[in-house]
Structure 1
Amino acid sequence: MHAWEAIQKAVDFIEENLQEEISTETLAEIVSLSPFYFQRLFKRLVNKSVQEYIKLRRLSKAIETFNTNENRIIDVALDYGFSSHANFTRAFKETYGITPEEYKKSRPMMNTVTKPEISMNYILIDEGVPLIVGDIVLEIQRKNVTTSEKYIGFTADVNIAEQTPVGESTGIDVPGQLWVKFHKEKMALSNFIDFDIELGMSYMAEPEKGIFQYFAGAYLQNELHDTSNFIIQELPKGEYIICKIEAESFELLVKEALDKAGKYLFGTWLPKHQLTTEPFSAEKYYTNCDNGYCMEIWVKPIQENR
């Protein structure tokens, strides 16, 4: 068994037993490693300590529970291994910046920790060759776009350190909140946009300020003279590397598949191909896919002669 396979086995066991008591020693024994070596290897491959990861996955599942039923906070806390309402509230606020009560009132979009697919770090696919991992399918290819595309929507500043997967952080998901705002107001644009194509764009990064701008909007197919409070953004022509993602449900697509695909593209595929990209990326969402739900991550490679 490879080292990464042992940690993946432990991660899978954690996922199946989040409502049970899980000790580091038990996990180490399951994968036949010493507790000392297991903890070091887990931290290296998951980027979090064993018990911190377990806590964050439990909190993620608690949020899912809040969104699907009206269970009392204390019941959810006890279901996921927290000894009291106070301990659960403390962990929730330390992680997300708000209390469980505040979350249940406003239900903001959140950055949560998803279960990693460690094997993806050790698989290098060729362009145009699909990669199937769990319930998602990835495919990477290059494309030369000869004409620019216009989109209309909203923009917001995002703190780099607080945005996953870049910052590996948790808290309120600013881009997610921007999408909520756009979807509430996009009917005002019904005569001008294509409802089947939407775009999220990260650009204009200012590392010294620790921020980047994020745009959320839809394809502008008819000319609009009065944009009111909306912003028009352009997806420029040029060469792109595109990572297509397919999933069985929209929730799986945006909550897990996008995170895993982004980590694979930026953390494995691009570095292994010795490619760097401009400080820009786009997420293109399609609501009319042949099979399931799909989207694409678009990045612009930096040309060697620049």
Structure 2
Amino acid sequence: MHAWESIQAVVDFIEDNLTEELTMEDLAKVAALSPYYFQRLFRRLVKVPVREYTRMRRLASACEQLQETDRTVLDIAEEYHFSGHANFTRAFKKAFGVTPEEMRHIRTITNQYVKPNLLLNYEMADENVPLITDGIVLEVRPTKLEQPKPIIGIAMEIPINDIMGGLDSGISITGKMWDDFHREKASIVGLSPDGKECGVVYTGGAPEGYCTYLAGAEADSNQASEGYTVFTMPAQDYILYSVEAETFNDLVTSAVYKAQTFMEKWMKKHSLRPGGFAVEMYLQDEEGATAMETWLDTIPTQPSEES
């Protein structure tokens, strides 16, 4: 068994037992390692200590309970092993920026700490061959845009970690932007009647640690009315990766994070790095399945960058 498989077994075990009492000794037994070496290996592969990981996954699950059920905050706190209402509220607000009671009334997408799939750090897929793993379908292929494509929407500078997904918690800034765009979409001049909705990530002069994000849709012209921004995809070669998930919420949270994890390795293997922008195009078929295509602007790496 590879080391990552041992830790993945623990990640899966934690996910199946979030409401149970979990001791370090029990988790180490699942990994077939000593508690000392297990904790070191878990932190190296998952990027956080095991206790912190378990706490964040419990908070993510508790968040779903708050939004989807009418159970009391105290019941949820006790189920996920938080010692009392006050302790749970303190931990929850630190993670999400709002209290559990406030979360009940929030319908904007939340960023949540995602259960990792360590396979994606090691598995490679050939071009045009779908990779099916952990509830998602991922496919990568080169493609070319023959004609420039304008996109009009709402743009603002946001922290980069808000779009990276998986490693942070809180109310999603991009989720709020999409809520605003959907409220205003019918009145935005220039959008294509049947155009796909698109999210664009680019530098746009944003300061370090930030990027510019545009929530919008395909347009018929490159002229945006006051208050809106136009981004025009240039006609050029792209690396396109598509990801499918069972629900839209899964698509824009855990699936996106897992796809990003995979693409980091894929790009390195193919001697590429991200260029100046990426465009997400949202798709939906007649059966309600959700998918997203990401068009990556890429730059070949130099030998010194690959070492």
Fold in common (TM above 0.5): yes
Amino acid corresponding to residue 299 of structure 2 in structure 1: I
Residue 233 (structure 1) aligned with residue 231 (structure 2):
yes
- The alignment partner of 2:33 has SS state of coil
2-structure distance, mates of 1:37, 1:250: 38
- What is the Cα deviation at residue 251 of structure 1? 2.3
Structure 2: where are the runs of 5+ without partners? Answer: 303-307
Q: Per the alignment, do residues 238 and 110 of structure 1 end up closer, same or farther by CA in structure 2, a change over 3 Å counting? A: same
Aligned residues: 302
Matches within 5 A, 1:139-150: 139-150=139-150
Match of 2:276 in 1: 279
Q: Per the alignment, do residues 5 and 295 of structure 1 end up closer, same or farther by CA in structure 2, a change over 3 Å counting? A: same
- The alignment partner of 1:276 has SS state of strand
Match of 1:210 in 2: 209
Instruction: Give the TM-score normalised by structure 2.
Output: 0.90
Q: Considering only aligned residues, what root-mean-square deviation do their CA atoms show, in Å?
A: 2.3
Matches within 5 A, 1:23-62: 23-62=23-62
- The alignment partner of 1:33 has SS state of coil
- What is the Cα deviation at residue 193 of structure 1? 3.0
Match of 2:266 in 1: 269
2-structure distance, mates of 1:199, 1:251: 16
Moved over 6 A (4+): none
Match of 1:171 in 2: 170
Contact 1:242 1:296 in 2 (8 A): yes
Q: Per the alignment, do residues 240 and 10 of structure 1 end up closer, same or farther by CA in structure 2, a change over 3 Å counting? A: same
1-structure distance, mates of 2:194, 2:147: 20
Matches within 5 A, 1:132-211: 132-161=132-161, 163-165=163-165, 168-189=167-188, 192-195=191-194, 197-204=196-203, 208-211=207-210
Identity between Structure 1 and Structure 2 (%): 38
Instruction: Give the TM-score normalised by structure 1.
Output: 0.90
Spell out, residue by residue over 1:203-241, the C-alpha distance to the aligned partner (whole angstroms, 9 max, x if none): 0165753211100111114x5977243222222221111
1-structure distance, mates of 2:194, 2:41: 46
1-structure distance, mates of 2:98, 2:164: 18
Q: Per the alignment, do residues 32 and 178 of structure 1 end up closer, same or farther by CA in structure 2, a change over 3 Å counting? A: same
Contact 1:205 1:279 in 2 (8 A): no
